[in-house]
């Protein structure tokens, strides 16, 4: 199936819902790894919006990306509860382990606040990380 | 064959519960995946016939089955952490399988909904008002009053929206409900829908909670026939903290940028798609099945102190020895919560501060730990109860850095709609940096000859502190929503109690 056909199929799946834009953008991001200018234009046309409106939404939310990033991602919680449990002391080692190969991103709270420092890779979450465990997690990603 | 119960809550999974469960299966046991009890320092917690072991690893399985494991904690329900609680909203935590309709019905499920549906909507609203239930999202607005407004406002359609965008650090009670007792939330929403006359409900969950999203979707399809004609749908957020603010959340649901709306009109009058909408937090909605059960409203109103009625789901987090979920009637002091129940810090060092109410809550000094958990008492002390998260810090914490982080967080997460929040937070970071580094640079623009009224000398430290206080006042009273409006709480409380950390 061509990209355009896959996109049209995603839009059609959600078009009948109330406020369909965010569900569409989630699926497009998931299917293509980004929401580029062509996707924005096609979605705008299908939903009778301007491309500026769609771009405004895409650029507002951290989960949506304009350009693909094929690197695996490790999200490290950097919010207060994990700070209180020493996450900031792990950042240098985590960055060194991630290098250019892994995208180490900040996230504000994974809801594991009594057992931090915590991290997320895809749909898996990890808690009670120390430096060795975090580095091993990043290297295994 | 022995039945072993292990939680499948995200926190238990993050601590290795799947590996423990697999090890028990290999040892020939039947493993039941239940919700978490909320004793997070003991996860993965293993239960066999009411007795618990934790924190268990796959290597402990043989010793647990032989009864020789040193991780034995006795009867879970009698554990001191559990025995001091009064669990209404979390009555099923640890006891039922999250997606078992059978377990839900056997523990009193759907009784509140069937009773509510047998009553006229006005009476349901009246019972909720009588129970004294206040919004658990943070603002503490009386839930029944909000519903009365929705019910009394004419509209083509009405909506019930559950705010499950639990972005505050130190809070996880919503996540525990969605993952551990999703039918209770669905039942609560169906009760709310009956009370306000709504046909459609949305649960807006943050994308950081993949397990909660999966459980809710599964639970909604299982319960669809029970709550019909009420329809429910999960909508997933996209990483924006500000979408936890109710009007930003509604914009996000509509497929717009998650920007805050000016109030009035209140969402109860013109909410989702401009129609009357009841927006409530997960815990508010989950409290309803109990309140609508026979005698539930009276029992709820008897608990608590002053105008804070019922139970609070207190989340003990951060650097605490015994972290987890503690549900008790309002009125307990922070000292009891942090020291008696939480056991002090996990690091064993002295407690320096506790931040209550998430990233927008004040840092509370140990001298104030006699504050009772009560909306008004906290407000009088320039602090917030918020969503009930308590994040403990030990004496290695740098409160100046925490104040800077509060401003930085606001700058990162601001929706950009109002100036005090968008610009003020960035200026706040710069000011705190200047105060902390002691850099006394004269302002180059102020030095220009045409700037007649600008001071020609660099500002002193006192001037900078005064400016920070002034900025905080502007943010507090000039911001559209609580993000900019409450960021001054952590900043000013840190400045007030730990001025030495700003040198």
CB contact under 8 A, B207 and A63: yes
Domain total in chain A: 2
Same domain, A56 and A17: yes
Q: Nearest-5° angle of CA A98, CA A99, CA A103?
A: 55
Same domain, A83 and A136: yes
Question: Going by DSSP bridges, is the β-strand pair A73-77/A119-121 parallel, antiparallel, or unpaired?
Answer: antiparallel
- Are B36 and B12 in contact by the 8 Å Cβ rule? The answer is yes
Residue A96 lies in a domain: yes
pLDDT score of A125 more than 90: yes
Same domain, A136 and A89: yes
CB contact under 8 A, B256 and A18: no
Task: Give the tens place of pLDDT for each residue, B113-124.
Answer: 999 999 999 999
Residue A83 touches partner B, C-beta closer than 8 Å = yes
- Are B364 and B372 in contact by the 8 Å Cβ rule? The answer is no
Instruction: Extract the tokens encoding B19.
Output: 């590996």
Residue A67 lies in a domain: no
**Helices (DSSP H) in B134-237: which residue ranges?**
143-152, 173-180, 182-196, 210-227
The pLDDT of residue B452 is 87
CA distance A61 to A58: 6
The pLDDT of residue B503 is 84
CA distance A79 to A123: 19
| Residue in A closest to B417 by C-alpha | A60
For domain B303-394, give the fold: Ubiquitin-like (UB roll) (3.10.20)
For domain B101-301, give the fold: Rossmann fold (3.40.50)
CA distance B142 to B129: 7
The pLDDT of residue A1 is 75
Residue of A60, A83, A115 lying closest to B11 (CB–CB): A115
Same domain, A77 and A55: no
Residues of B in contact with A22 (CB under 8 A): 235-236, 238, 252-253, 255
Task: Give the tens place of pLDDT for each residue, A26-81.
Answer: 999 999 999 999 999 999 999 999 999 999 999 999 999 999 999 999 999 999 99
Same domain, A126 and A103: yes
pLDDT along chain B (503 residues), means of 10: 93 97 96 97 96 95 94 96 95 96 97 97 97 92 96 97 96 97 98 97 97 98 97 97 97 97 96 97 97 94 92 96 96 96 96 96 96 94 94 96 97 96 96 86 80 82 93 96 96 96 90
CA distance B176 to B145: 27
The pLDDT of residue B437 is 87
User: Shortest Cα distance from A62 to chain B (angstroms)?
Assistant: 5
CB contact under 8 A, B318 and A26: no
CA distance A50 to A40: 9
CB contact under 8 A, B258 and A115: no
Q: Where in chain B is the domain with CATH 3.40.30.10?
A: 3-83
- Are B287 and B300 in contact by the 8 Å Cβ rule? The answer is yes
What CATH number is given to the structural domain containing A91?
3.40.30.10
- ipTM, 2 decimals? 0.96
Same domain, A102 and A131: yes
- Write the DSSP assignment of B222-244 as a string of letters: HHHHHHTTSEEEEEE--S-GGGG
Q: Which domain holds residue A12?
A: 3-60
How is domain B399-502 classified at the architecture level of CATH?
Answer: Up-down Bundle (1.20)
- Reduced to 3 states (helix: H, G, I; strand: E, B; else coil), residue B502 is helix
Distances (CA, A) of B18 to B11, B24, B101, B245: 11, 10, 23, 35
Q: Which residues pair with A75 in a beta bridge?
A: A105, A120
The pLDDT of residue B444 is 80
CA distance B212 to B32: 19
| Residue in B closest to A111 by C-alpha | B172
How is domain B3-83 classified at the architecture level of CATH?
Answer: 3-Layer(aba) Sandwich (3.40)
Same domain, A35 and A93: no
Residue A30 lies in a domain: yes
The pLDDT of residue B340 is 96
Residue A65 lies in a domain: no
Q: Nearest-5° angle of CA B457, CA B460, CA B461?
A: 160
The pLDDT of residue B332 is 95
Same domain, A78 and A132: yes
Residue B149 touches partner A, C-beta closer than 8 Å = no
Q: Where in chain B is the domain with CATH 1.20.1440.230?
A: 399-502
Same domain, A88 and A128: yes
> Mutation test of the interface with chain A: which of B9, B10, B14, choosing the one with the most A Cβ atoms within 10 A?
B14
Same domain, A81 and A121: yes
| Residue in B closest to A60 by C-alpha | B257
Residue A68 lies in a domain: no
Same domain, A94 and A54: no
- Are B206 and B237 in contact by the 8 Å Cβ rule? The answer is yes
Residue B245 touches partner A, C-beta closer than 8 Å = no
Q: Where in chain B is the domain with CATH 3.40.50.11540?
A: 101-301
The pLDDT of residue B449 is 87
Residues listed for chain B: 503
Residues of B in contact with A61 (CB under 8 A): 237-240, 258
Same domain, A78 and A134: yes
Question: Going by DSSP bridges, is the β-strand pair A124-126/B30-34 parallel, antiparallel, or unpaired?
Answer: unpaired
Residue A38 lies in a domain: yes
CA distance B148 to A26: 35
CA distance B192 to B473: 37
Q: Where in chain B is the domain with CATH 3.10.20.600?
A: 303-394
CB contact under 8 A, A108 and B254: no
The pLDDT of residue A92 is 97
CB contact under 8 A, B235 and A23: yes
């Amino acid at each position: 199936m061509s990209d355009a056909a896959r996109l049209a199929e995603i839009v059609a799946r959600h078009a009948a819902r109330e406020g369909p834009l965010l569900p569409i953008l989630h699926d497009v991001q998931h299917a293509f790894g980004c929401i580029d200018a062509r996707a924005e234009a096609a979605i705008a046309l299908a939903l009778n919006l301007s491309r500026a409106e769609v771009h405004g939404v895409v650029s507002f939310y951290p989960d949506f990306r304009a350009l693909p990033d094929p690197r695996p991602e490790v999200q490290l919680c950097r919010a207060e509860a994990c700070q209180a449990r020493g996450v900031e002391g792990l950042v240098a080692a985590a960055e060194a382990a991630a290098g250019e190969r892994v995208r180490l991103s900040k996230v504000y709270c994974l809801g594991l606040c009594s057992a931090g420092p915590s991290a997320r890779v895809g749909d898996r979450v990890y808690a009670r990380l120390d430096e060795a465990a975090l580095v091993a997690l990043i290297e295994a990603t | 064959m022995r039945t072993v119960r292990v939680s499948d809550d995200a926190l238990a999974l993050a601590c290795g519960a799947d590996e423990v469960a697999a090890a028990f299966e290999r040892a020939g046991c039947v493993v039941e995946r239940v919700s978490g009890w909320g004793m997070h320092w003991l996860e993965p917690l293993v239960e066999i016939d009411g007795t618990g072991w934790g924190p268990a690893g796959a290597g402990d399985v043989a010793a647990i089955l032989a009864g020789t494991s040193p991780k034995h904690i006795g009867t879970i329900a009698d554990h001191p952490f559990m025995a001091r609680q009064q669990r209404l909203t979390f009555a099923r935590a640890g006891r039922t399988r999250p997606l078992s309709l059978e377990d839900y019905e056997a523990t009193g499920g759907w009784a509140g909904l069937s009773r509510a549906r047998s009553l006229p909507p006005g009476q349901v609203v009246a019972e909720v008002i009588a129970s004294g239930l206040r919004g658990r999202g943070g603002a503490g607005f009386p839930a029944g009053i909000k519903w009365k407004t929705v019910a009394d406002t004419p509209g083509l359609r009405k909506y019930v929206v559950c705010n499950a965008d639990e972005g505050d650090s130190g809070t996880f009670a919503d996540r525990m409900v969605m993952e551990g007792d999703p039918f209770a939330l669905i039942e609560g929403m169906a009760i709310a829908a009956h009370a306000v006359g709504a046909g459609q409900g949305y649960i807006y969950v943050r994308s950081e909670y993949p397990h909660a999203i999966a459980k809710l979707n599964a639970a909604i399809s299982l319960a669809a026939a029970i709550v019909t004609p009420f329809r429910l749908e999960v909508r997933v957020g996209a990483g924006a903290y500000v979408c936890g603010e109710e009007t930003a959340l509604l914009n996000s649901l509509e497929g717009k940028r998650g920007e805050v709306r000016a109030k009035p009109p209140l969402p109860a009058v013109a909410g989702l798609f401009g129609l009357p909408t009841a927006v409530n937090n997960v815990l508010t909605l989950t409290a309803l099945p109990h309140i609508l059960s026979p005698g539930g409203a009276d029992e709820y109103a008897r608990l608590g102190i002053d105008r804070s009625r019922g139970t609070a789901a207190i989340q003990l987090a951060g650097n605490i020895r015994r972290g987890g979920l503690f549900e008790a009637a309002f009125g307990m002091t922070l000292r009891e919560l942090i020291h008696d129940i939480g056991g002090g810090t996990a690091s064993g060092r002295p407690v320096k501060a506790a931040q209550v109410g998430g990233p927008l809550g004040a840092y509370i000094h140990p001298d104030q730990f006699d504050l009772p958990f009560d909306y008004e008492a906290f407000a009088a002390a320039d602090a917030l109860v918020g969503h009930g998260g308590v994040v403990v810090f030990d004496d290695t914490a740098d409160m100046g850095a925490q104040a800077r982080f509060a401003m930085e967080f606001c700058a990162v997460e601001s929706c950009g709609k109002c100036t005090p929040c968008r610009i003020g937070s960035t200026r706040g970071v710069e000011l705190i940096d200047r105060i902390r580094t002691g850099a006394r640079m004269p302002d180059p623009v102020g030095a220009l000859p045409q700037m007649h009224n600008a001071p020609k000398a660099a500002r002193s430290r006192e001037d900078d502190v005064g400016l920070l206080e002034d900025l905080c006042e502007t943010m507090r009273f000039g911001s559209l929503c609580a993000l900019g409006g409450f960021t001054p709480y952590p900043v000013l409380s840190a400045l007030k109690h730990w001025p030495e950390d700003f040198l």
